[in-house]
Amino acid sequence: MNTLLEFLKNRNWMLWALILGVATGLIFGERVAFLQPLGAGFVKLMQITIFPYIVVSLIVGLGKFNPEQVRSILLKAATVMICLWGVGLFAIWCFTFTLPQHDAGTFFSPALIAPTNNIDFAQQYIPANPFASLAEGNVPAIVIFCIALGMALIANKRKNTVLEFLDVIGQGLTVISKKVISIFPIGIFAMTASTAGTLSVEELNNLQVYWVLVLCLGLYLMLVLLPMLVAALTPIKYRALILVMRNAWITAFSTGNVFIVLPVITEGIKEHLRTIKKADEQADHIAEVLVPIAYTFPSLGKLTTLIFVMFAGWLTGNPISLTDIPNVTLSAMLSYFANVHLAIPFMLDSLKIPADSYQLYLSMSVLTAKVVSPTTVVYIFAFVFLSIFYCRKQLHLKRLRSVYYLTLFSALLPAFMLASFTLNSYLAKNSQAADEVIANMVIADKVPAHVLGYVPKAYQSGELSLTNIDVIKKRNLLRVGYLIDNVPFSYFNQKNELVGFDISLAHRLASDLNVNVEFIPFKKHQLNEYLNKGFFDVAMSGLEINVADLTKVRFSDQVLQLQLALLARDHQLDRFSTIKDIAQQTLTIAHVEYAPLLHQVAKNYPSIEFKQLPNLKAYFADPDRYDALVISAEAGFAWSMFYPEFGVVVPQGEISKYPTGFAVAKRNYDLLNYLNAWLDIQHANGQVDANYRYWILGQGSQKTVKRWSLLDEYAPELLD
């Protein structure tokens, strides 16, 4: 691969492909989405040589050393890596404190109750079966195996035969890589165009504060801290380093993938050392060994995702304090040795941040990879260059250039921090608050409705009512009972419209019956009386199907299965982490329903006293009287959007779920049979699931804006 970088340097096709791809995406918008598979195909082409390259470069690079050299080189490389981690983590922590004030609160996500991912370091790093590790793409295990084999060959007198053979294979891999890279600008163009054309405004708006935070941090690390450290301590000039990294940086930015540019990084380092007349055989071997090692160990690029953990704490109202920093840093360094998708859930769990925040990371991973991957590329270049010159004892501090760059990157840190804080404060100020999102949700398909705030006297005859489908159609009215302020199942939005999961289903039921709908309020303890006296036909409001009420009313088949949880002030959530923690305390816990279930709990745990409230708003009117509120996790998250100082916790050790459904009077079998058959249809056609995604998960709760493009804006007549 000796001529690989020269091949790229003489032709700036990748840079032009990147620029042209962005321009094409902005001009044509979603019309260029068809280019995405083409870009994905080029990424797979680039991956053809990567695993063989790691094996060959590590074994050959280490095998050519003598034992004294290896010990000295690895020790000095470890010193450089630890120092880079130190300065990088300091910068990361500085940026976490640029987050503005925020009105916390998020929708529920099923990931909240998903089991915690336990990191299996043994599986990640011990190559019990090297061939399986190669097949599964387990890079850390592959690197460990190759390091062990390479070091085992150091003292072997017959090693030259194997090393020469592997050298020949390496030359073949060079030819393949060169052929692929010669046409790779096509892939860069395809990926950039499809990304720029399909990235929605909604995706940017959802987590724009995090995106700005990562962007400012990434730019500081990529353009200031790392290259200026190299320029300050080594003979390499800042501008020359930027040019050397350019092609690998562009490829990593376009693809969001560092793995495929490892050969380009290695050859770029070797070629630049030859250009400045600092190359020798040892330097080449160091580059071949350290590049895959740097990729395997936590890089500063990978560690920038640590800022998401801080962002998630800020977003959910659990900000990380100064006293948490030492423990968080230690946990991060241990967990980031594994895959980042294992490390982030582990970190969220260790900091008691709701695990569903991980879904936010996944939704932004495509965007953040555009910063994380290029930062990793710059980190690898900086680490290897610093290690090479440290091994040669050519690191210098007593130079004017060293003082200049050290002073410059120190001064620019607060400038980047100020830019991040200023921009994010503006975005947070102009973004829609969490409570406004849920308060502005509406029902899409409504039938004529009449919402009452009381039970009309005409309905209070006191006679047992028998209602069936024929009666409902004859009167042209479906009467539905609802619980007041039972977010997100039945509540009033900012326009004073009755909305919610069950209210939406009630409108659909009335539409299918071809009748109007009337909503009548009731309190939970009034359910049996109001139904059996005929005040309304059916109760629909996230009602728990419980054994105690089975003899008094008839429940439909299950509509949803909800997760039982506790809601409390954010700073008190740690008290309820496990059932064991709860049992050891003297508590007063409020609830609106769940009386039969909680009666048994009170018997088992006499130190806990349960108080029943008329409605959920009664708890928030005087929350200091209670330690917590029993509620479904789905509803708890919705309420935390209105009251961001509260959070939701699912105690570990005894996770309980319960079914919800509709209720009808005890004698109304005809109506019950109709409801059950109707529910089967709604489940089958996806209507219940669609309602769940909208009202519970909040998907589509903000208006979708058509993807903007220059063609739509300035030349719409060309589309006609």
The reply to whether 4-94+121-431 and 438-559+660-696 are identical in fold is: no
For 562-658, which CATH superfamily applies? Answer: Periplasmic binding protein-like II (3.40.190.10)
Burial 165-200 (b: 16+ CB within 10 A, else e): ebeeebeebbeebbebbeebbbbbbbbbbbbbbbbe
Residue 8: what pLDDT? Answer: 47
Return the SS3 of 482: strand
Residue 166 identity (one-letter amino acid): L
Cβ proximity of 405 and 228 under 8 Å: yes
Give the largest CA-CA distance in the chain. Answer: 103
Helix axes 262-275, 238-255, angle to 10 degrees: 170
Residues 6+ apart with CB under 8 A from 220: 91, 95, 412, 413, 416
Q: Which CATH number fits domain 438-559+660-696: 3.40.190.10, 3.40.50.2000, 3.50.50.100, 3.30.70.3340?
A: 3.40.190.10
Check: CB of residue 193 under 8 Å from CB of residue 32.
Answer: yes
pLDDT given at position 413: 92
pLDDT, residue 180, reads 76
For position 21, what pLDDT does the model report? 82
Is residue 511 exposed (0-12), middle (13-18) or buried (19+ Cβ within 10 Å)? middle
Q: What is the DSSP letter of 11?
A: -
DSSP bridge pairs for 499: 491
At residue 288, the pLDDT reads 83
Query: Which two tokens mark 286?
Result: 């160091």
Q: What's the Cα-to-Cα distance from 224 to each of 37, 269, 399, rounded to whole Å? A: 35, 19, 19
Pairwise CA distance, residues 114 & 64, whole Å: 49
- The kind and range of the H/E element at 562 are strand 560-569
Would you mind telling me the total number of residues written for the chain in this entry? 720
Alpha-carbon 561 to chain mean position: 25
- Tell me the domain boundaries of the chain: 4-94+121-431, 438-559+660-696, 562-658
Distance CA 401, CA 404 (A): 5
Retrieve residue 218's tokens. Answer: 């990434």
Chain mean position to CA 124: 22
Across 284-412, the runs of DSSP E, i.e. the strands, are none
pLDDT at 10: 46
The rounded average pLDDT for each run of 10 residues, N- to C-terminus, in the chain (720 residues) is: 49 72 81 81 74 78 73 86 92 85 61 53 74 74 82 82 83 77 78 73 62 89 93 91 88 80 87 88 84 82 82 71 74 64 66 61 68 91 93 82 89 92 77 57 70 78 70 91 89 87 93 93 88 90 87 92 88 81 88 82 85 87 91 86 81 80 91 94 93 83 60 61
Fold of 4-94+121-431: Proton glutamate symport protein (1.10.3860)
CA distance 371 to 366: 10
Q: Which pLDDT score, from 0 to 100, does residue 101 have?
A: 67
Task: Count the neighbouring beta carbons within 10 Å of the beta carbon of residue 659.
Answer: 15
pLDDT at res. 546? 86
Residues 6+ apart with CB under 8 A from 150: 58, 59, 60, 61, 62, 63, 289
Backbone torsion region of residue 411, taken as left when φ is above 0, otherwise alpha when ψ lies between -120 and 50, otherwise beta: alpha
Q: Which of 166, 168, 141 is nearest to 153 (CA)?
A: 166
Q: What is the pLDDT of residue 502?
A: 93
| Number of C-beta neighbours around residue 489 at 10 A | 28
